[in-house]
Amino acid sequence: MTPRTRDGSRERDDRSDRSNNPNVNSVERRTAVRPDVQMPAAATRPKRLSRREAQAQTRARLLDAAAEIFSEKGFSAATIADVADRAGYTIGAVYSNFEGKDALFRSLMAERLVAMEAGLTDAFASADAAHELQPDDVDQRIRADLDRLEAAEDSVPASWGRLLNEYRGYIADDAAAKAELAELDRRCVEIIARYIERFAASIELVLPLPATELVELTNALSAGLRDAHADGRASMTSGRGLRLVVGWMIESARCRGVPTS
């Protein structure tokens, strides 16, 4: 029975009006086959990190923040709170990953120094591969290598030099840490020296000094010039200075009548 309103008129029953209430199943079927109807795409949810992945991410961010803070303020003046603030974490997050500031600094430098050694190895392997694709013209090969040398040196952040100097001072009284760092320095020198020897042999150039001594000399030059440029005491970048000195050495050897291809 159709219900009545308060004024006595019959209430309209829209349920019986098929023009206003079409069959729902029919609507769904028609919508499904309409090519112009775009169904909303499912929201893409970011991948949820596992506990181990989240811990690794937190640790990496803390190390990055520590590198910035230690190079800016120095290890002695920097605090755990400074590192936590820079990384966007609480102090508790730092202590849950590192025992303290000492452990944080040692972990930071251990990872950065290993990465530096691996980066040198990869860089020179790529350079060796590039030599195989270069023309036989000696001048072109020398220019290409000097280009790579300058670019690689100038890509080193000034903060890295400050951080490394800070670390050397920090471990001054730690014989074991000093020996470990000295061994890594030696390996890096050997990596560069072996590359120099291969390159010199490829253009039939006799080196004016043993390769290791050349590396020690140019490393000292680039480190000093990098710091001076960062402090505003030198207008020349370390990459530019290194390119000039190495270029002069090569040209001097060639002018002395050393046979080249």
Q: Look at 149 and 46; give whichever has higher pLDDT.
A: 149
Give the mean pLDDT of 231-255: 91
10 Å CB burial of residue 255 (0-12, 13-18, 19+) is exposed
pTM of the entire structure?
0.68
DSSP-assigned letter for residue 7: T
Q: Strand locations in the chain, DSSP E?
A: none
Asked if pLDDT for residue 34 goes beyond 80, the answer is no
What's the Cα-to-Cα distance from 140 to each of 134, 154, 200, rounded to whole Å? Answer: 8, 21, 14
Q: How far is the C-alpha of 237 from the C-alpha of 244, rounded, in Å?
A: 11
pLDDT, tens digit (0-9, with 9 covering 90-100), for 178-227: 999 999 899 999 999 998 998 888 888 888 889 999 999 999 999 999 98
The CA–CA distances, whole Å, from 210 to 52, 158, 206 equal 48, 29, 10
Query: Which two three-digit tokens encode residue 70?
Result: 């230690």
pLDDT score at 164: 87
Q: Is pLDDT larger for residue 108 or for residue 14?
A: 108
Tens of pLDDT, residue by residue over 170-188, are 899 999 999 999 998 999 9
CA gap 178, 196 in Å, rounded: 27
What are 151's two structure tokens? 């670019």
Q: What is the pLDDT of residues 60-109, one digit of tens each?
A: 999 999 999 998 888 889 999 999 999 999 999 999 999 999 999 999 99
Query: In the chain, helix, strand, coil percent, each to 5?
Result: 70, 0, 30
Answer whether 158's CB lies under 8 Å from 230's CB: yes
CA distance 1 to 260: 111
- For residues 121 and 35, the model is more confident at 121
* pLDDT at res. 44: 62
Residue 33 in this model has a pLDDT that exceeds 50: no
Least confidently predicted of 24-28, 84-88, 140-144, 189-193? 24-28
pLDDT at 258 over 60: no
The whole-chain average pLDDT of the chain stands at: 80
Residue 150 pLDDT > 50: yes
First-to-last CA distance in the chain?
A: 109
Q: Hey, how many other C-beta atoms are within 10 angstroms of the C-beta on 69?
A: 24
Q: Tell me the pLDDT tens digit for each residue of 95-129.
A: 999 999 999 999 999 888 888 888 888 877 777 67
Provide the H-helix boundaries in 74-210.
80-87, 91-97, 101-133, 138-154, 158-170, 175-202
Q: What is the mean pLDDT of residues 32-53?
A: 61
Calpha distance 185→179 (Å, rounded): 10
